[in-house]
Chains A and B, each alone.
Chain A
Amino acid sequence: EIVLTQSPDFQSVTPKEKVTFTCRASQSIGTSLHWYQQKPDQSPKLLIKYASQSFSGVPSRFSGSGSGTDFTLTINSLEAEDAATYYCHQSSSLPHTFGQGTKLEIK
């Protein structure tokens, strides 16, 4: 089973700043890595598919990069509505797995 490790576990930033989260896979997964945003008491929403492809309707301030074992999610010019927990998910091999999440607080 592929383990995804996200860092940091928690980050607090001010509006308009830029933030970057990382997701590291325990073995190479190519670009089969996806990012989701989950706000409190809501279901997750897909942001980025296959490491760098934005999902339809996602604001352009969200971007992803990486391949192999190291991936990043970047949010430019943070807005208050971006407060959420962000999860990475690998679909390279079964079973699919999720990272433990990074909680983002907007000061």
Chain B
Amino acid sequence: QITLKEAGPTLVRPTQTLTLSCTLSAFSFTTGGVAVGWIRQPPGKALEWLALIYWDDDKRYSPSLKGRLTITKDPSKNQVVLTMSNMDPVDTGTYYCALASGIPEFGYFFDYWGQGTLVTVSS
């Protein structure tokens, strides 16, 4: 059973950089054709796609946040890390990592999700 678990600070000050990690279990990055993504959700609002890193280390970012986001993976730790710079109170929300699978030509769906981690941006 594949599981994902997010970890990171619960409180971040404005202008600081947020670093979140996602640790995957029962999964190997040698598995081709998969990706790991980050999705966030402000309190009471909809889901927002942030970034995706593919098994071959290709990376994609939300254009609205590009420049602030960096996604990397560490296969030795089975981890994916997301950093978001210049945090603002509007970035407050629950951040999820999710495993993406599917057919590359038709794009990937998120079939396994972490429990999410709530990040509050406040001074």
Contacts and interface: CB of A to CB of B under 8 A. Distances in A.
Interface of A: 1, 30-32, 34, 36, 38, 43-46, 49-50, 55, 87, 89-101
B64 to A, nearest CB: 8
Interface of B: 37, 39, 46-49, 52, 60-63, 96, 102-103, 106-111, 113-116
Contacts of A96: 37, 49, 52, 107
- Determine chain B's interface SS by DSSP, over half rule: strand
A51 to B, nearest CB: 10
Contacts, number: 67
B110 A89 contact: yes
B113 A44 contact: yes
Contacts of B116: 43
B16 to A, nearest CB: 25
A43 B60 contact: no
B46 A44 contact: no
Given A43-B113, A43-B115, A89-B49, 17 more contacts: A1-B63, A31-B106, A32-B107, A36-B110, A44-B47, A44-B110, A49-B102, A55-B111, A91-B102, A91-B106, A91-B108, A93-B107, A95-B49, A95-B61, A99-B46, A100-B46, A101-B46
